[in-house]
Amino acid sequence: VNDKGRYMISVAAELVGMHPQTLRIYEQKGLVRPTRTAGNTRLYSDADLERLRLIQQLTTELGLNLAGVEMVLRLEDQLSRMQRRLERVEREMNERLRQVEREYKRELVLWEDPTLPVRTRR
Amino acid sequence: VNDKGRYMISVAAELVGMHPQTLRIYEQKGLVRPTRTAGNTRLYSDADLERLRLIQQLTTELGLNLAGVEMVLRLEDQLSRMQRRLERVEREMNERLRQVEREYKRELVLWEDPTLPVRTRR
DNA sequence: AGCACGTTCACGTGGCGTGAGGGTCC
DNA sequence: AGGACCCTCACGCCACGTGAACGTGC
């Protein structure tokens, strides 16, 4: 699937199996934000289609209404951002830990091996 | 507010401003789980009331339906657990970092100060 | 005996999907 | 000139809240 894909509403509706009117309503409620051509025609990206399929799953399979969909989308976004933040923090902390250990070992080696260049003592 | 408070359905409904029948429906859908007396009468705790107020906010103010409420409650629970985990990880990592730094400084001091007891060299 | 509890069924309202009508752009 | 776009309005269905009917426990 081409990442630059832009489909107008009839094609997009066909691709995700929805009514074109439904897509307009979703946009009106702020659930999807397709771009527009100069002639004001909606253009849906592949990301938009993916979002539409997610909304479809929430409404038809799980039975949420649109207010619920909006809130769930916000919460899931928040959740994934926190997930990434957690991973980042773990990575950075491990990094700093290794950094300190490396320095520590280097200092000890310097004191034990007199053939190495002398560093200033603290 | 007493934490051990147990109210039967009419009182609970009054306290949160809902219809008793609504509370029964919520229980049927698994949104609240009041305990029961031996005679099968529902007893709502203060935690149940708080949950009811949260559900009320989601439905009346934000317009979610019950499927949405259920999912939002799950997601918010997940979010708060991840929040706590993030804080815990940060705390533990800082702890380990300080630990390593302390050890590091102690080793250096031992090498520099001959009056201290000798440790085995690596 | 009476009152609040239990469950089940019925009704009304509102949200949401679907379609039709009419105007505009290529 | 035709077809797909735009928007707005109208209909139908289902979810949900509310109430009534009827039985049961204290």
Q: Specify the DSSP element, H or E, that contains B7.
A: strand B7-8
Count of A–B CB contacts within 8 Å? 94
Residue pointed to by tokens 């207010």:
A67
Placement of tokens 């804080």 in the chain:
B87
With cut-offs at 50, 70 and 90, classify the pLDDT of residue B122: very low
Query: Across the interface, do B82 and A79 touch by the CB < 8 Å criterion?
Result: yes
Amino acid (1-letter code) at residue A57: Q
Residue range B8-47, pLDDT digits in tens? 999 999 999 999 999 999 999 999 999 999 999 999 999 9
pTM metric for this prediction: 0.82
pLDDT at A103: 79
The pairs formed by A90-99 with CB atoms below 8 angstroms and a separation of 24 or more are A90/B89, A90/B93, A93/B89, A93/B90, A93/B93, A93/B94, A93/B96, A93/B97, A94/B93, A96/B97, A97/B93, A97/B96, A97/B97, A97/B100
Examine the pLDDT at A122 and tell me if it is beyond 50: no
Supply the mean pLDDT for chain A: 88
Q: By mean pLDDT, which of A67-76, A79-88, B97-106 is the weakest?
A: B97-106
Whether the per-residue pLDDT at A77 is higher than 50: the answer is yes
3-state secondary structure A36-69: ECCCCCEEECHHHHHHHHHHHHHHHHCCCCHHHH
Residue closest to A13 by CA, chosen among A23, A28, A2:
A23
Give B6→chain A minimum CA distance, Å: 31
Contacts with B62 from chain A: Cβ below 8 Å: 67, 71
**Could you tell me how far CA A49 lies from the centroid of its own chain?**
16
A59, A53 contact by CB (below 8 A): no
What residues contact residue B96 under an 8 Å CB cut-off, 6+ apart?
Answer: A93, A97
More confident residue, A60 or B99: A60
**B91 has a chain A CB within 8 A of its CB:** no
**Runs of H (alpha helix) within B6-116:** 9-16, 20-28, 46-56, 66-112
What is the distance of C-alpha B102 from the center of its chain? Answer: 34
3-state secondary structure of B75: helix
Q: Is the CB of A61 under 7 A from strand D?
A: no
pLDDT at A89: 87
DSSP letter for A31, please.
S
What is the Rg, in whole angstroms, of the alpha carbon atoms belonging to chain B?
27
- Nearest-angstrom CA–CA distance, B29 and B21: 13
Per the structure, the residue whose CA is closest to nucleotide C25 at C1' is A39
Distance CA B117 to C1' D23 in A:
87
